Each structure stands twice: as C-alpha cells, then as structure tokens.
Chains A and B, each alone.
Chain A
Amino acid sequence: MKAYYQLTLAQLRLFLRNRQALFWIMLFPFFFMFIFGLLFENDRPVTYTMSIVDLDQRSISKQITQTFQQQDYFQISYDRQVETANEKLKNGKVDLVVVFPKNFSQQVQQKQLPASIDLYYNNKNAAQTRTALTIIEGNIDAVSKNMTQYQPVIKTETKEISGLRLTYLDFLVPGIIAMQIMSNNMNGVAGQIASWRERGVLRRMQGTTLKASNFIASQITARLVLNGVQALLLLLIGYFLFDVSINGSIVYVILFIILGTLTFMSIGFIIASLAKTPESAGPIAGFLSFPLMFLGGVFFPISNMPTYLQPIVQALPISHLSTAFREIMNVGTPLTELLPEVGWLCAWLVAGFVIATRLFKWE
C-alpha cells in the first residue's frame, strides 16, 4: 500500500515536472478543436449547391426561387422529384434541397398558415450547412414579411435526412476525448515502460521487494488522474468556448474515461513487452493508433466506413469508446442502452490485462 502510494505520487510528479510533454499532451486536443472550430464555425463567404424541387410552379415559389438566384451563396440546379434531389444530397452532390410542396402558393394566398417549404440537408455536413440554413431562413423571412406587411406567413421547416441535429464540433469533441485516451495510454505507456526498461529503471526496482502488481496499479492510478483532468478540460473548453452540447450524465462520461484508460493501458503494456527497444515501441504504438484514429469514429462517423470494413471497425475498442462518448454527450443516451459498448470495452480490457500480465517483464 505504501509502495503503491509512493509510486503513484512519483508518477504524478513525473507528469507535472515534464513540462514540455505536459504542454503538448494538453495542447494537442485543443489544437484540434481550434482548427476544426475555426474551419466549421466561421461565417465565411462560401457557396452552397442547392437543388430546388418546385412542385408548386406558381408565382410565390418562383418569387422565392428568384431571391435565391440573386444570392451569391447558392449554385442552383433543379430537379423534378424530391427523391432524385435527396439522392444527390445523400451522395454529397448538393448541400441542400429546397422543396416547394404542391399548392404552396395557394396556401400562402389563402392564408392557410403556416405554409411550409421543406428544406433538406445532410447531417454529416451539419456544421457547414448551418450557415446556409440561416441565409435561407433570412431570405424567406424577408419575402414572407414583404408579402404580409411584417406578419410572417411562411416559415421554414428544416428536416434532417437522418438522426440528430449535430454540429461537427458536437461530433468531434467526444471523438477527440476518445482519441486522447487512446494515445495517452497506449502510446504513453508503451513508450514509457519500454524506455524505463531500456534504461534499467525497472531493473533496479526489480532488485527490491516491490511487487509488479503494485507497480502496475500505481501506473494505472496516475494515468487515470491525468486522463480525467485532461478530458474534463476538453469538456469544459468545448462547452464554454465552442458550445458543444453535453446532454447526458457526466458520471457516465467519467465511467467511460476509466474504462477507456484501462483498456488502452493494457494494450500499451502489451506493446511495451513486445517491443525490443523504446525506439521501436513508439512506432509500433503509432502504427496501431493511426488507423484506429481514422477507422474508430474519431473524425468521421463509423457508418461512413465501407461495408467490408464494418466488422473490423465494430470490433475496435476505439469505436466503442468514441460511440459511447458521442451517445452520452450528444444524445444523452442512458447507460442501459450503452451496454454493448461497456461489454466490448470490458472484453478488450480483460483480454488485454491477461495478456499484459503474462508478458510483463522488468527487463
């Protein structure tokens, strides 16, 4: 117990005193967030491709179409059917679809309020298209006000093709937390343990009555503290600076931080044992974490992955970790619905630690 406490304390001191490493570890996720935040949140002049399906073909729909045409923001094409237009939207050929329903003009003229225009966008590009939606709403608002002497008679109804109303940052921040947990632990443990082994630090400890279990337990504790703090910082910055939504329970978030940390640490221990030198441990961990980062739903939705990759992607621990964070933070999914994620991570965790303890060596 004494040894466990002292080793944990020592590891935390090492973290805090290695200013440069600490700086980069903490900075890295924020760097990501700022870059993506600036890319997707800025109101910069961009053009959006828009498909208009005019089922009405009367004066008012044409009037609104005309106002869209006058805007520099939109490149307009026309489709006859909603289905064809939405197919284009799904394939990313257009950013937006505007549908004037049949009898739209009639509704407006007869003041069957509210007359509605259907506006479709792809939630994969939610952040990008949000600006366009605002512009459209503004336009329609203006037309609407013109017609009714400032009494709104038309309102837009935005409909998403699937799922939730998400900004890209809402999507990204949980992914970044998962990514950080993976790289801090898998890469961090692998590099550190291999280097301590190489330098004989572990060897000297092996010459004492210290038990390996105490050593490993202290590593786990110290890293849990570091990860917890880092994830919390990420959450706070995302929440206050970028308006990232946290709909679910913070307790669940913490639970998954713990699960993720343990899982990736055990993998890190395995890599450290397999690597012959610290020079090779880093690249091995990097080699593993890079594809994991892109396949595991950190930056892109898992559903975007090609079908033949799905079985692999679904088995990766990072996929379940990023999914879990996303579900909790974006949707507020209760834990009972996240049992598959808990199960997958626990399976990885148990298998990881069994292998890690078998392979662990002081030198």
Chain B
Amino acid sequence: MEASEAIIQVKQLKKRYDGFYAVNGVSFEVQRGEIFGLLGPNGAGKTTTIEMLVGLRKPDEGTALVAGYDVLKETEHIKKAIGIQLQSTSLFDLLKVKETLEMYASFYPSHVPIQPLMEEMLLTEKQNSLVKELSGGQKQRLAIALAMVHDPEVIFLDEPTTGLDPQARRTLWEIVLNLKNKGKTVLLSTHYMDEAYVLSDRIGIMDRGKLIALDSPKNLIQSINAESAVEFKTTQTYTEHTFEGLRGVKKVVINQQFVTLYTNQLQETLIDFLQFTSDQSISFSALQTRTATLEDVFLHMTGRGLREE
C-alpha cells in the first residue's frame, strides 16, 4: 500500500430500511493519516454509513474498502484493522475501567499496554471506578480507549461528543487531534459544525442519505462565496425574491420566518436592508450578523439548518 493512498474507499454505498434509503449512493475516500468528518443533521445517514464501513451492517448496494479489505467479504480482517466507538456506547456498568479495557484487549490477538493507554485517555485516576460511576466525558474517553486498545490503523468515532458539556468536548477534541498526531486515520461523524471545523482535515456533508459536499472546512465555507451572514426573523412569510435585490446580497435562504442573507459587503447590505424594510414596512426582530460558518454551507445547500427536525 502506498503512503498517500486512500485507506477508506467508498463507492455508491446504499442501505435501505423499510422502503426508504437511509444511505443513498454515498462515495468518498479517506486518506491515510487524515481526520475525515461526516457532518450532517440527525437522520442524515452518518451512523448507517459508519456501521456499514465497520462491518456491522451489510450494504444493499455499492462497495467499500477499509484498510484494503472489502466490507462485504472481509469483515474479520477489517475488525482487526479498525477501532470503533459507537454512538450508543454501552458497556457493563458494574465492571471497572481497567477491567473493561483488559476484557476488550483480550478480544484481539494483540493489544497495547493498558496503563499508558489509560494515561493517554486521562483515565488513570478512574481506573478502579465502575463504569456506571463515570461522567459522560469519561465514558466517551473510555470508549475511545477501547477503540485504541489493539492499536488499529483506522478509528471510527460516531458522534463522540454528543451530550457532553463544553469542557468535556474540548478535552475530547484534544484526544482526537492527538490520535492524528500518532499517525492514525480518524473518521468521525458529528452534527456540531464547530467540531467538524476544528477537527477535520476534510468534511463530507451528508443530508438525507446523500453526500452533498466534500472538501476542506475552509474551501467549503469559501464555496458559498460570502463572508458574512445577516439573520433576522420576520412576522410574515416572504419569498427569497423579496430580498434578492438588496445591495451585496449573494444568496437568500428563507426557512419559514427565519431569513438569512449572505453577502461580501456587510455594511452596504445592512444599510440597504434597514432602508428597504422601513420603506416596505417589513417588521423584523432578532437581527444579527456573523461570519459564515459550516452551518451556512449546509443552510446554503439544503435550505435547512443542521439541528432542525
């Protein structure tokens, strides 16, 4: 295998549940040593995609190679080459941290020393605590430690920070970035755009079973070709057309009564906006401006927010 070769290759992967496609033709590649983020709202198909790649679900159509092995035929090889942290991490509540690690270590032909691993995951102090006594962040760090216990090449993290407080999230980010420094390839899913932005070398944005964009975080934001966003809420519902004529506005996204204007000339757009609304007697509230983020990339492409529904 060449050094810069793709370690994960996904081609037209599909998974159907009860007649609808949870994953509908997803293709992407992950390079060795990068952190690849799958960003999308709940139900976008991120978890199903990951479960197919780690061999827990059989794809209905398409193929994928992980560490050179076929997910359809060579799941046993894949399991040895990868480490996983599943979204609903469930461990034995009445086992201690160290015992849990030792147990999972025994499932593999070889494993890394447990003590240094616990240190790396900031679990040394908790090694004799029962799993049920751990905080959410500690549980997730244990889950990642379990994914690392057999020194795999690729690590899959499915929404590792969901439900954690900001402090715990930042600690976990450090740990994930550290994995990359150790030369691991990480594929992580999240519905937090800040998390995807901070961690990922490249991001695939998923929506309704499809991959709708794939690039580095910077390029994705530049792709909407607007530095700033102006947001407000109107009392009535308007069409995009109403605001398209304002100075500097590149794109208008309206989601019920929430309007977002994208612009590269914030000042001009704002002056024109205030003038226009006063002339047209359009009443609005909750006006704010900000620089464009990944959230806007998603909004731009789908017309919906990341954390809706």
Contact = CB atoms under 8 A, between A and B. Distances in A.
Interface of A: 2-3, 5-7, 9-10, 13-14, 17-18, 196, 199-201, 203-210, 363
B156 to A, nearest CB: 9
Q: From DSSP, what is the main secondary structure of chain B's interface residues? A: loop
Contacts of A14: 92, 94-95
A209 B84 CA distance: 12
B86 A207 contact: yes
Contact of A3 (B79, B86, B91, B107): B107
A93 to B, nearest CB: 56
B86 A204 contact: yes
Interface in B61-111: 76, 79-80, 84, 86, 88-92, 94-95, 99, 102-104, 106-109
Can you list the 10 inter-chain pairs with the closest CB atoms, starting with the nearest? A6-B106, A210-B107, A208-B107, A17-B94, A199-B90, A200-B90, A2-B106, A6-B103, A3-B106, A207-B84
Contacts of A9: 99, 103
B86 A208 contact: no
B88 A200 contact: yes
Q: From DSSP, what is the main secondary structure of chain A's interface residues? A: helix
Given A207-B86, A209-B76, A209-B80, A18 B106 contact: no
A6 B94 contact: no
Contact of A10 (B88, B89, B92, B150): B92
B103 A204 contact: no
Interface in B156-212: none
Contact of A13 (B54, B86, B95): B95
B145 to A, nearest CB: 13
Q: Which of A7, A17, A199, A207 has the most CB of B within 10 A?
A: A207
B56 A206 contact: yes
A3 B92 CA distance: 16
Given A200-B88, A201-B92, A207 B79 contact: yes
B90 A208 contact: no
Given A18-B94, A203-B86, A10 B99 contact: yes
Interface in B212-247: none
A229 B145 CA distance: 36
A7 B102 CA distance: 10
Nearest to B103: A6
B55 interface: yes
Contact of B103 (A10, A203, A207): A10
A167 B74 CA distance: 63
Contacts of B84: 204, 207
Given A207-B79, A208-B79, A208-B104, A13 B99 contact: yes
Given A10-B99, A209-B76, A204 B91 contact: yes
Contacts of A18: 94
Given A13-B95, A201-B91, A205-B107, 8 more contacts: A2-B106, A18-B94, A200-B90, A203-B56, A203-B86, A204-B89, A208-B79, A208-B104
A17 B107 CA distance: 23
A209 B30 CA distance: 23
30 contacts: A3-B106, A3-B107, A5-B106, A6-B103, A6-B106, A9-B99, A10-B103, A18-B94, A199-B88, A199-B90, A200-B88, A200-B89, A201-B91, A201-B92, A203-B86, A204-B90, A204-B91, A204-B146, A207-B55, A207-B79, A207-B84, A208-B79, A208-B104, A208-B107, A208-B108, A209-B79, A209-B107, A209-B109, A210-B107, A363-B56
